[in-house]
Amino acid sequence: MDRGPSADEDKAVGRGVDGGLDEGGARGEDEDAVIATRALTKRFRGGQLAVDGLDLSVPAASVFGFLGPNGSGKTTTIRMLMGLIAPTSGAARVLGRPMPESARAVLPQVGALIEGPALYGFLSGRENLMRYDAADPTAEGRTRRARVGAALERVGLASAAGKKAKAYSLGMKQRLGLAAALLQPRRLLVLDEPTNGLDPQGMREIRSLVRELAAEGTTVFLSSHLLDEIEQVCTHAAVMAQGRLLTQGPVAELAARARGRLTVTTPDTADAARVLKEQGVGDLVTAGDRVSGEPPGRDLAEVNAALVAAGVRVRGFGLERGTLEDAFVALTGEGFDVAG
Amino acid sequence: MSRAEAPAAGTAPGRAPARRRPGGLLRSELLTTFRRWRTLALLGVLAAVPVLFGIAVKVETADGGSLGGGGGGGEEAGPAFISQVTNNGLFLVFTALAATLPFFLPMAVGVIAGDALAGEANAGTLRYLLVAPAGRTRLLLTKYATTLVFCLAATLVVALSALAVGAALFPMGELTTISGTRIGFGEGLERALLIALVVAASLVGVAAIGLFLSTLTSSGIAAMATTVGLLITVQILDQIPQLHAVQPYFFSHYWLSFADLMREPVYWDEITRNLGLQAVYAAVFGSAAWARFTTKDITA
């Protein structure tokens, strides 16, 4: 493998900066994007527009967070990428090949967890994996048992491998689903809500597994409605709402787009608020010993000097970094959990 | 058109070229199907039918008399064979097959075929098989092959159970054909096997219909119920004299023609017609299933 993760990373970040909100910027580089869609649209028979003109570009070796409220079209998009659903219009390329036409060439290199795990309850965990592996015509039968064992080991299910899957807890089922995605070395992992049903410890394990895989050069496409999760593991993210792509790019850049807030920590909150207002700080909020507001256009050093000159005792002064959640709220103008 | 069936033009870089083992999925499918409790229960019920028949005949004839009124002509092959059971246990095989073919056997096949894809869709396992990627045509063929194996297994279960019960309760030996000639026990066994194969082949049409219905829905129960409902409807329509013009096209119309294998010489006419009809049903509903399944949106 010549795909050095760090080198690709730099390139990807560079592209994101150039492209930003303008998807046109990414178009010329569709060839080395692991996932690239052009005006991808799905209208279901009922007339419901689930995905509307999606232009998505997932750079190689990224951990790409696919974000959006429940019902925003994430899963429909993933199903189109995996060849399970035919798009109404538009095109999708995965690993450089058109989907769903090239499904048989592309999918053996893709591990997927789609809308939660699905298992044969009357088979053991190991037998479930044996079956899914047998379904892949490129998987070697001779190495099947060993690969299944390694995948079980990797998700921490080795000791429960002989148990019937119906006796598994939701977290164990989720792990087994992940193991199925890891039966082969993959170039792309598509994980739809991988931490659903997991306890905090399980979530941490999944996150570290994702990082590990990304370090090996696997591109990870991770859908989630949990902003936290995306912010913690992803290098890139896209936000969907009501079937449309709102934005995509490197996570740091998306978060930066949300304007940070100026926060002053002081025992003299009333004086501080008055001075800050004079200095042009808007939307002032006082909470305990903290006063925060939207930073003014002028140099913050001057603001600080004015506070001190007015005799305000300043314990802390700084700009709080915007979070992805702020970015999302700024983009949609609404809370995150509103279904589209 | 199939959209999942573009030829695999390349393998992953850095991975050894794929060594194709075409039997991998079929083997897995057979194991999965025959390990299901429901499959075993169906086979168990089928195995029990000859036992009940054997015991009933034995009890009925315990006083040394023959089976009363059993030899009546108008009641198709079953009763014609049943009067012979006390003379030769081998006839229990023919009786049991004749008794299970109109309903028990096709119902069992309908359950397996109807559940084949709809059941996987219902459990959500279908999407994982397809992204594995099993390939839609490959998966459909595997499912049909497995259903056909079940047809054969179900028929053999009935036949072997009947043979065992027949051997245990009744004398075995030379037997008289429907034409009145005598054939040896060995040849009788051969005929029994041939009949079992023809009976299994008679189920090919139902299997194709069930599989097609299975591609239409994500509910295994719905597909099974529709298949079995269709089976009953056709059986009833086949009895209505006014419909005799269309009856030769019903998949069940020539089912009991297998009795002709017990004639000397064998009368092949209707058996051939039956097998041809099954092939037509398999082709028509197989194509319909393929057309549907390869273009279907998998949303379950």
Asked whether the beta carbons of residue B24 and residue A85 sit closer than 8 angstroms, the reply is: no
Asked whether the beta carbons of residue B4 and residue A83 sit closer than 8 angstroms, the reply is: yes
B124 to chain A, any CB pair closer than 8 A? The answer is yes
Supply the ipTM of this predicted assembly: 0.82
Q: Using H for helix, E for strand and C for coil, what is the string for A112-169?
A: EECCCCCCCCCCEHHHHHHHHHHHCCCCCCCCHHHHHHHHHHHCCCHHHCCCEHHHCC
Burial A99-111 (b: 16+ CB within 10 A, else e): bbbbbbbbbbbbb
In a domain, B235, yes or no: yes
In a domain, B9, yes or no: no
Q: How far is B138 from chain A (nearest CA, A)?
A: 9
Name the range with the highest mean pLDDT among A248-262, A263-277, B217-231. B217-231
A166 to chain B, any CB pair closer than 8 A? The answer is no
Mean pLDDT of B128-142: 92
- Residue among A100, A120, A136 whose CB faces B3 most closely: A100
Mean pLDDT across chain A? 81
Q: What percent of chain B has pLDDT over 70?
A: 86
- The beta-strand segments (E) located in A44-103 are 49-54, 57-59, 63-67, 89-94, 97-99
Instruction: Round to whole Å and give the CA distance between A199 and A184.
Output: 26
Per-residue pLDDT band at B299 (split at 50, 70, 90) = confident
Question: Is the pLDDT score of A51 beyond 80?
Answer: yes
Query: What's the Cα-to-Cα distance from B150 to each of A28, A58, A263, B250, B258, rounded to whole Å?
Result: 54, 46, 73, 22, 19
B20 to chain A, any CB pair closer than 8 A? The answer is yes
What is the predicted pLDDT for the residue at B150? 95
Domain that holds residue B37: 24-294
User: Residue written as tokens 């075993």?
Assistant: B40
What is the predicted pLDDT for the residue at A327? 67
Q: How far is A301 from chain B (nearest CA, A)?
A: 55
In a domain, B8, yes or no: no
* Smallest CA–CA distance from B18 into chain A, residue: A138
State which amino acid sits at residue A90.
Answer: G
Question: Is the pLDDT score of B155 beyond 60?
Answer: yes
Using a CB-CB cut-off of 8 Å, the residues of chain A touching B20 are 137
- Residue among A104, A122, A180 whose CB faces B6 most closely: A104
**Token digits for B73?**
């002509």
Asked whether the beta carbons of residue B129 and residue A135 sit closer than 8 angstroms, the reply is: yes
3-class secondary-structure state, position A337? coil
Least confident of B128-142, B164-178, B211-225: B164-178
3-class secondary-structure state, position A320? strand
Per-residue pLDDT band at A324 (split at 50, 70, 90) = low
What is the predicted pLDDT for the residue at B129? 94
As to burial, measured by CB atoms within 10 angstroms (0-12 exposed, 13-18 middle, 19+ buried), residue B197 is: middle
B1 to chain A, any CB pair closer than 8 A? The answer is no
Using a CB-CB cut-off of 8 Å, the residues of chain B touching A178 are none
Sheet architecture: strand order including A316-320:
A282-287, A290-294, A261-265, A316-320
Mean pLDDT of A324-329: 68
- Residue among B6, B35, B124 whose CB faces A118 most closely: B124
Least confident of A200-214, B30-44, B97-111, B282-296: A200-214
Mean pLDDT of A239-248: 86
What is the predicted pLDDT for the residue at A10? 38
**Token digits for B223?**
């597909």
What is the predicted pLDDT for the residue at B73? 38
In a domain, B17, yes or no: no
* Smallest CA–CA distance from B2 into chain A, residue: A101
Q: What is the pLDDT of residues B3-41, one digit of tens each?
A: 444 444 343 444 444 445 556 899 999 999 999 999 999
Asked whether the beta carbons of residue A102 and residue B25 sit closer than 8 angstroms, the reply is: no
* Smallest CA–CA distance from A122 into chain B, residue: B36
Instruction: Round to whole Å and give the CA distance between A99 and B138.
Output: 18
How close are the terminal C-alpha atoms of chain A, in Å?
41
What is the predicted pLDDT for the residue at A304? 85
Using a CB-CB cut-off of 8 Å, the residues of chain A touching B9 are 102, 105
Q: What percent of chain A has pLDDT over 70?
A: 84
Instruction: Round to whole Å and give the CA distance between A304 and A339.
Output: 42
Per-residue pLDDT band at B77 (split at 50, 70, 90) = very low
Asked whether the beta carbons of residue A103 and residue B128 sit closer than 8 angstroms, the reply is: no
Q: What is the pLDDT of residues A167-225, one digit of tens each?
A: 998 888 988 999 999 999 999 999 998 887 788 888 888 888 888 889 988 999 998 87
Mean pLDDT across chain B? 84
**What φ, ψ does residue A244 adopt, rounded to 5°?**
-115, 150
Per-residue pLDDT band at B107 (split at 50, 70, 90) = very high
Per-residue pLDDT band at B72 (split at 50, 70, 90) = very low
Sign of CA dihedral A22, A24, A25, A31: positive
- Residue among A100, A119, A141 whose CB faces B21 most closely: A141
Number of domains in chain B: 1
Q: What is the pLDDT of residues A15-46, one digit of tens each?
A: 333 333 333 334 444 457 899 999 999 998 88
3-class secondary-structure state, position A338? coil
Query: What's the Cα-to-Cα distance from A16 to each of A25, A161, A187, B137, rounded to whole Å?
Result: 8, 42, 21, 40
Per-residue pLDDT band at A12 (split at 50, 70, 90) = very low
In a domain, B39, yes or no: yes
In a domain, B6, yes or no: no
Question: Is the pLDDT score of A47 beyond 90?
Answer: no
In a domain, B170, yes or no: yes
Using a CB-CB cut-off of 8 Å, the residues of chain A touching B28 are 130-131, 134-135
Asked whether the beta carbons of residue A102 and residue B6 sit closer than 8 angstroms, the reply is: yes
Answer with the residue of higher pLDDT: A135 or A227.
Answer: A135
- Residue among B18, B28, B32 whose CB faces A138 most closely: B18
Inter-chain CB pairs, A–B, below 8 Å: 139
Instruction: Round to whole Å and give the CA distance between A109 and B180.
Output: 66
State which amino acid sits at residue B239.
Answer: Q
A263's CB contacts (< 8 A; 6+ apart) are: A290, A291, A292, A316, A317, A318, A319, A320
Scanning A169-198 for CB atoms below 8 A from B yields: 177, 180, 184-185, 187
Per-residue pLDDT band at B69 (split at 50, 70, 90) = very low
In a domain, B15, yes or no: no
Q: What is the pLDDT of residues B193-238, one digit of tens each?
A: 999 999 999 999 999 999 999 999 988 899 889 999 999 999 899 8
Q: What percent of chain B has pLDDT over 90?
A: 49
Asked whether the beta carbons of residue A118 and residue B9 sit closer than 8 angstroms, the reply is: no
Give the mutation candidate from A1, A32, A34, A84 for the B interface (greatest B CB count, under 10 A): A84
User: Residue written as tokens 């010489």?
Assistant: B265
Instruction: Round to whole Å and give the CA distance between A230 and A127.
Output: 32
**What φ, ψ does residue A28 adopt, rounded to 5°?**
-65, -15
Q: What percent of chain A has pLDDT over 90?
A: 31
Give the mutation candidate from B15, B33, B128 for the A interface (greatest A CB count, under 10 A): B128
Give the mutation candidate from A76, A131, A147 for the B interface (greatest B CB count, under 10 A): A131
What is the predicted pLDDT for the residue at B151? 94
Q: How far is B205 from chain A (nearest CA, A)?
A: 26
Q: Using H for helix, E for strand and C for coil, what is the string for A290-316?
A: EEEEECCCCCHHHHHHHHHHCCCCCCE
